[in-house]
Amino acid sequence: MRSRTFHTNSAEETVSLGRELSKELHGVVLLIGNLGAGKTTLTKGIVEGRGVTGADDVSSPTFTLIHQYGDAEPVFHIDLYRLEEARQVESLGLDDLFRSGGLVLLEWAERFPELLPAERTEIRLRAVSEDGREITVVD
Ligand SMILES: Nc1ncnc2c1ncn2[C@@H]1O[C@H](COP(=O)(O)OP(=O)(O)OP(=O)(O)O)[C@@H](O)[C@H]1O
Ligand SMILES: [Mg+2]
């Protein structure tokens, strides 16, 4: 297990970090952090870095639950915040996405640990000041 910590001082810096991390990320990635920690902001950079669409086209899948960007090498962005029971999550068919080989970015998935693959990257985000974020990648 390897752990690296980064610090950003604005949303733009977090988007940039996402662009850089996009080159090495693969498989299932949990984005873990409180409301407003920057999970969706980091996702904007990751999606842009993959070249599937621009950061401005990435929005939070809070209500739609799953967004897919790109086709040949898709990035899936999932937000489980509004789901309450594992049963509801199971109906989304996440296992198929986990097996698809695409990059799968998940917000609030740590609430359903039994549904997650052991093989995954965790990115932990924490607000350390109004615009400061500490971002740790564990893989
Ligand atoms: N260094 C920073 N990195 C990321 N976002 C920042 C930073 N500084 C300020 N912000 C602001 O914090 C907010 C982060 O929102 P974002 O939607 O990315 O959070 P989230 O973790 O996805 O929250 P949620 O759990 O509600 O989905 C944005 O309003 C952004 O402008
Ligand atoms: Mg979000």
Interval 31-47 mean pLDDT? 98
| Tokens (6 digits) for 97 | 């996405």
Residue closest to 14 by CA, chosen among 41, 34, 37: 41
The two tokens of residue 136 are 């740790």
Atom of ligand 1 lying closest to residue 132 CA: 1
Identify residue 11 by its one-letter amino acid code. Answer: A
Best mutation site among 41, 56, 128 for ligand 1 pocket (most ligand atoms within 8 Å of CB): 41
Taking residues 56-74, what's their average pLDDT?
Answer: 94
Binned at pLDDT 50, 70 and 90, residue 54 comes out as: very high
Residues 73-128: tens digit of each pLDDT: 999 999 999 999 999 999 999 999 999 999 999 999 999 999 999 999 999 999 99
Of the listed ligands, the closest to the CA of 125 is 1
pLDDT computed for residue 98 by the predictor: 96
Ligand 1 nearest atom to the CA of residue 133, by list position: 1
Q: Answer yes or no: is the C-beta of 135 below 6 A from any ligand 1 atom.
A: no
21: pLDDT confidence band, cut at 50, 70 and 90? Answer: very high
pLDDT at 77: 98
Q: Of 126, 124, 136, 122, nearest to 25 (Cα)?
A: 122
CB of 43 shorter than 6 A to ligand 1? no
Q: How confident is the model at residue 8 (pLDDT cuts 50, 70, 90)?
A: very high
> What does pTM read for this prediction?
0.97
Among 71, 123, 65, which residue's Cα sits nearest to residue 90? 65
pLDDT of residue 79: 97
What is the distance in A from the centroid of ligand 1 to the CA of 120? 23
**The token pair that represents 14 in the structure block:** 């977090």
Q: What residue ranges define each of the domains in the chain, with the CATH number in brackets?
A: 3-138 (3.40.50.300)
